[in-house]
Amino acid sequence: MIPLNWALIGFCGMTGAVLAQIGLRDHDPQALLFVVPLFLVGLPFLISTLKRDTFFQSQDAPPISSLVAARSEAALFETQFGFTGKLRLHEKEARRFLDVPARATRLENGALAFVSNIDASTRFSGVVTKSKVGLWLCSPQFESAPIECGTLFYGKKSRPALRVQFLETADAKNARLKAILSFDDITSREAMRTFLLAQMGSTSSTSSQSASPFSSSTG
């Protein structure tokens, strides 16, 4: 299925073009009046597409096979995926990213982290005014929130994905955050889902780790 924004843009565009042609040909002002609301409906979705917003379409989770469940943590951490959500460069610098390349890893304190090497520096006329290059990460604490399987639509691209909810250890407000992990294939997605479900089972034993992940380096 195509994402909602593309469907509405196509519908509004085709309908508006037909009505405009009828209005101009028959000199019918009523037909032209319908073009305005169609334009107002289609414009926000066109803007969202041009800004490359993401759309997640939820699907029923398939059963986990024993082959996927047997994948080792080391092999899983070699898998690159796309991360959509909030990452931190340090405790005071956080930003939301769209489908950036990322990997899972362990911090020195044993906590799970999603890490991406990003250059988000601020530039003016080609000169770096504020350096923000390095490892951006989040250290999630999974509880009992469901892990949703689905498809991530990003522009014209679609990939198998997971939508997860978690508490971020570096968030001062202890807010529940959401992130979308997208993968090249369903097998990689299901391997990550199996791993994250296992992390939920070990949350109670790791919830006492409250140290900031930025005081530790990734492993």
Whether residues 139 and 37 share a domain: the answer is: no
Whether residues 138 and 164 share a domain: the answer is: yes
Whether residues 182 and 104 share a domain: the answer is: yes
Whether residues 40 and 126 share a domain: the answer is: no
Whether residues 90 and 132 share a domain: the answer is: yes
Whether residues 58 and 141 share a domain: the answer is: yes
Indicate the number of domains in the chain.
Answer: 2
Whether residues 15 and 63 share a domain: the answer is: no
Distance of alpha carbon 181 from alpha carbon 55, whole angstroms: 12
- The pLDDT assigned to 177 comes to 87
Whether residues 59 and 35 share a domain: the answer is: no
- The pLDDT assigned to 208 comes to 45
What is the extent of the structural domain holding 29? 4-50
pTM, rounded to two decimals: 0.69
**Measured CA distances, 122 to 94, 96, 125, 138, 186 (Å):** 14, 15, 10, 21, 36
Location of structure tokens 């085709």: 14
- The pLDDT assigned to 5 comes to 58
* Residue whose C-alpha is closest to residue 181's, from 198, 160, 200: 160
Whether residues 46 and 58 share a domain: the answer is: no
Whether residues 76 and 163 share a domain: the answer is: yes
- The pLDDT assigned to 217 comes to 47
Taking the CA atoms of residue 201, residue 204, residue 206 and residue 212 in that order, the dihedral angle to the nearest 10 degrees is 120
Quick one: 185 exposed, middle or buried, by C-beta within 10 A (0-12, 13-18, 19+)? exposed
- The pLDDT assigned to 124 comes to 81
- The pLDDT assigned to 13 comes to 66
Taking 50 as the pLDDT cut, the residues of the chain under it are 1-2, 67, 204-210, 216-217, 219
Answer with the one of 17, 34, 50 that is the final residue of a domain: 50
Whether residues 99 and 111 share a domain: the answer is: yes
Whether residues 31 and 58 share a domain: the answer is: no
- The pLDDT assigned to 68 comes to 58
